[in-house]
Amino acid sequence: MVEKVGRYEILEELGQGGFAVVHRGRDTILDRPVALKELKPVLLGDAEWVQRFHREAKTIARLDHPRIVPIYDIYELEQRLFIVMRLVEGSSLEELIASKKQLAWSEAFEIFSGIADGLAYAHAQNILHRDLKPANILIDAKQGAMLSDFGLAKLTSESSMSLSASGTIVGTPHYIAPEIWEGKKNTVQSDIYALGCILYEALTGEKIFKGDTPPAVMMAHFTPLSLPQTWPDNVPSGITEVLAQALARNPDDRYRSATEFAAALAVLPVDHAATGHLLVATPTAIEAPPEPITTGAPTESIELEPHPSPSATAPTASVSTDEAQSPASSDPTPSPLQEIAAPESPPDTAVPSRQATIEPSGELTPAVRRPRVGRRSCLWLGLGLGLVMFLGIVFLGNFCSLLNRLDAINNPTAALIALQTESINVPLPTDDSDPAEIEINFGAGELNIAPGADGALVSGTATYNVAQLKPSVSNDNGQVVIEPEFEVDLSALPDGDTQNHWDLTLGSFPMELNVTTGAVKSQLELGGLLLKEVRLVTGAADYKAAFSEPNRTPMQSLRFTGGGSQTQLIGLANAYTEDIIFKGGAGDYTLDFSGQLREDLDVEIDAGLGQVTLRVPETTRAAVSVSNLLANVEPTGAWQQSPEDDGQYVVTGDAYQEYEIKITVRIGAGNLKLETM
């Protein structure tokens, strides 16, 4: 039955995701098919979701390009909110890969060059996509590959931080660049990394970074890149080097633009075994974007929405979102691969194509002819150019030499050395009126922290075999920073068995503790200390922090931020604090509230896509409020759901228990498990 909302008819549902339902529709005034992306009714009362929905519409409306699915309207009527878009008749790249397993090089290159064209245009408009994946690439029967779903896009004049305000990483794990997992900024190079992942998947039928859970996928991005020894037929062998650059760990080592990436693919020679002709890939003319885009301090962010698999029921159409996809079209656009033996006319584009034609004489002649220049003009022009080139080479040589020297000073090349072990000892402050401030920064390897320093603020050992990871200790009468001697990007670590292991113990002195770690294994035992405040920040990590014994002084607050880790926080009742703030990304988190509760405890949890498990003793009074009804909540044990079904869960606990735990959970499409012990 046709449903009518104002000027639009809703014909059928094409699919749905975490926050929107997508319908096939018709504009009755203009008599044309449309895709109607409708915000779910349960979210209409949430100002943040409504603002995000409007934001997506405004972002797409800025983009006018044949390779980007256009928006027609934003329509609000009868307490319903829609984004009205072009209905793409075709399939998504995700469905195309699923049906064909592996795409032929010509087809993959055709799709990729079109998407690179659209992405370069978006970047030139200072817009980053931030959620590139096969499901967001639609194959239109007439227009070819089109880029869709800018729901997570950011204007680079605004915040493009990878973490939302709640600590949530945005994007889809298989395509998120390593720097994003580490909480750094999104840039053009982050989108290019995702393009490299997509191209690999199109050519092989497999994701390059695999894992059964988001944390496992995240860890895969930090393993050494492994590309195939052999590729499917007709895939040029040079693809290995091109993909290696696109997927470089360090963003600075990747291509500067989508245009440059596509151009590197276009010049790869393909030996067509069936015809014996040499195929030369001719990329679509793309306007070169400006310098690589980076962003400043964050002003706002968007939570990561769930991105389910496309609806299996979508019959014949794809829409401009990953909310719904459909079967492949049988009418692809012409291939950009042109056989030299039978050249076609140059495409009608704003920028001349660099195709070549073969004249009857057999000479290779550029398709774009240039006016003749007289011999004398050529002579003076040649001398002038030669002088300019000579001076340029001299200047460039000196300039590059200076840059290399500065780079060698500021970013030394990491080098393996013989295994070193040295002691770390920080004496107690002479002024005991204020708590000590201890900051520990650890980027690579394994970190262990425990109580037990005798007569010292911090003591321990560091074992390492990379010269630049030598520990450095600064101490200004109790203001202590312990970190590697040089800041080394993880991608700069040399090949081989690198080792970096710190074993530190903390003394019995009032202290504020800040521990920041990267993609490392960390084990922190913080019980029995005099901790006044604790801040823990970790990237992609296997992380455990425990309070096996009660903290010996009231703590102002305990704050944890995880960028996508497997984390256990144990004995939180022993922290002796009234305030715990937890922010996590796409990780697997366990918060255990065992221990001695000595005051009421308020806990705020922002978890995004995280898998969160909360464990509370059966004898403890506890209440959990889940503010996002899209989360999957699994209460077990003594947990009871509120009769009003309003996202409230309680453990009644022991009637004689004086204190209680109140937990507020904000979670996207993740899973929340409530357990008792």
Which residues are the active-site residues? 131
Compute the distance between CA of residue 473 and CA of residue 484 in angstroms, rounded to an integer: 9
In the numeric block, the tokens 């204020």 are attached to 434
Compute the distance between CA of residue 248 and CA of residue 489 in angstroms, rounded to an integer: 12
Compute the distance between CA of residue 170 and CA of residue 157 in angstroms, rounded to an integer: 18
**Cβ distance 319 to 85 under 8 Å?**
yes
**Cβ distance 550 to 574 under 8 Å?**
yes
Element containing residue 110 per DSSP (H, E): helix 105-124
Structure tokens at 567: 């984390």
Provide the residue count of the chain: 677
- The dihedral over CA atoms of 359, 363, 369, 373, expressed in degrees to the nearest 10, equals -140
The 337-339 sheet, strands edge to edge: 270-271, 278-281, 337-339
Compute the distance between CA of residue 178 and CA of residue 193 in angstroms, rounded to an integer: 9
**Cβ distance 589 to 567 under 8 Å?**
yes
In the numeric block, the tokens 């606990």 are attached to 653
What Cα–Cα distance (Å) separates residue 450 from each residue in 526, 529, 543, 639?
6, 9, 14, 33
Compute the distance between CA of residue 579 and CA of residue 16 in angstroms, rounded to an integer: 38
Residues 6+ apart with CB under 8 A from 85: 34, 35, 36, 37, 60, 69, 70, 71, 72, 319, 320, 321
Compute the distance between CA of residue 158 and CA of residue 154 in angstroms, rounded to an integer: 7
Structure tokens at 451: 């109580």
